[in-house]
Structure 1
Amino acid sequence: MITLRLISAALLFNSHGDLLMMKRSMNRTLSPGMWAAVGGHLEACEMALPRAACLREIEEETGIAEHEISGLRLQYILMRLKEQEIRQQFIYIGQTDRNPRITTTEGDLHWIPRHEIMNRKLPFIFHFALDHYLVHGDTPHPWVGTSTRDKNGDPSVSWTPLLDPNLV
């Protein structure tokens, strides 16, 4: 039986271009010890509200409130099959110059300079999303990324712009 896991996360940049990242605790179920965005699972009441889940996770993990974030917008929807689980992740991009005000057992928060981001040990699909964002930057539309394999059999992500065909 295939199950579904919905996740919402934020790439928060400061005015210097640094990215707020979490070095995940070794006791985490998903991606222990790896570097990731701030975020987590959608609650049952948030199934149609991934932005609300993202804001909740930001506040729970950093203490940064919605009014301290500017330009928060959906940039990526990532899909992958992991064993018998479809993982769908909503990635939002935003800006803040607020430093985290709380600590969490989920991991340690750090501002990572833009040129060092890709040198971190990153979860597979998150690595591809960060690489795509650092190359393409902000776009007027979100992207859908689905995990796949390239012609050599190596893990890859296939990117498609998410556009309303009635507005194109």
Structure 2
Amino acid sequence: MIRARMMATAMLFNQGDLLMMKRSMTRTLSPGLWAAVGGHLETHEINDPEAAVLREIQEETGLLPEELGELRLRYILIRLNQQEVRQQFIYTAVTRKRDIIQSDEGVLHWIPRDEVLDREIPFIYRKLLEHYFQQPASPHVWVGTAGYEASGEPAVHWTELIDPEQM
């Protein structure tokens, strides 16, 4: 039986630094790796991933919605992980302050942009960051699907999310 898991994630920036979490070794997903702030959508958030990401930001950092600027959906990642389809909504925002709380999910650090990719990062998040850093001002929402190249190497294939009614 294939299950579905929906998640909302935030890439939070302040003065050119990205807020990253060194995940606790006790976490189920990506223990010990560097990741973004975020988590699973609650049942009542299924049709509102923005509400979920705002909740996750507040729970994991203490930042309130009014302390964020330019919050916007940038990516939707879809992948099959064993018997689970994972759909992840990734938002970007700029924080109005750097003071954050720490959570039991991991340790938060502000990482300079040019040092972000030096961290041990899950494959799919690394591919997302590489894509984002190549075009940070893109006005599009991008859909990434995880798969494999003809060589057998894992890859993420990016497509602009386009409304066919607008074509």
Fold equivalence (TM over 0.5)? yes
Q: Which residue of structure 1 aligns with residue 108 of structure 2?
A: 109
The runs of 4+ residues in structure 1 deviating greater than 6 Å are: none
Q: Which residue of 1 aligns with 2:159?
A: 160
Maintained 8 Å contact 2:21/2:35: yes
Aligned partners of 2:69 and 2:96 also within 8 Å: no
Query: Which ranges in structure 1 are unaligned for 5 or more consecutive residues?
Result: none
Matching of residues 1-168 of structure 1 within 5 Å: 1-14=1-14, 16-168=15-167
SS at match of 1:166: helix
Give the unaligned 5+ runs of structure 2: none
Alpha-carbon deviation of 1:102? 1.8
| Identity of matched residues, % | 56
State how far apart, in whole Å, the 2-side matches of 1:114 and 1:101 are.
18
User: RMSD of the TM alignment (CA)?
Assistant: 0.9
DSSP 3-state at the match of 1:30: coil
TM-score w.r.t. length of structure 1:
0.96
SS at match of 2:114: helix
Distance 1:97 1:109 in 2: 16
The 3-state SS of whatever aligns with 2:166 is: coil
CA offsets 1:113-166 (integer angstroms, 9 cap, x no match): 000111111111111111100001122220000001112211100100001122
TM-score for both structures, normalised by structure 2 = 0.97
How many pairs does the alignment contain?
A: 167
